[in-house]
Amino acid sequence: MYCVYILRCSDQSFYTGITSNLDERLNEHQSGKHAESYTFKRRPVKLMYYAEFTEVERAISTEKQIKKWSKAKKQALIDGQFEKLPNLARKKFRD
């Protein structure tokens, strides 16, 4: 199994990642195992969302897709407000 996950960092930003061992990866984020990681200086982190996949390719494509989303769209996903996702994907153009 592969998990795509979203963390809320101490600075209120979101981090999206992928792993085959969610518990272990969360411990690595919390402990600061990787000093070069985005989350290292933004600890503590909190798991806000995860989805499981059986195919690694699907997990990778989902992670890449979510990473491109706005903070508002990620929050809608976290909140289970799936009906809002299409509208949050629309670009706003100025006249």
pLDDT above 90: residue 93: no
* Domain map (residue ranges) of the chain: 2-88
Q: Model's pTM, two decimal places?
A: 0.90
With cut-offs at 50, 70 and 90, classify the pLDDT of residue 85.
confident
- 3-state SS, the chain, equals CEEEEEEECCCCCEEEEEECCHHHHHHHHHHCCCCCCCCHHHCCCEEEEEEEECCHHHHHHHHHHHHCCCHHHHHHHHCCCHHHHHHHCCCCCCC
pLDDT, tens only, 8-63: 999 999 999 999 999 999 999 999 999 999 999 999 999 999 999 999 999 999 99
Architecture per CATH, domain 2-88, reads as 3-Layer(aba) Sandwich (3.40)
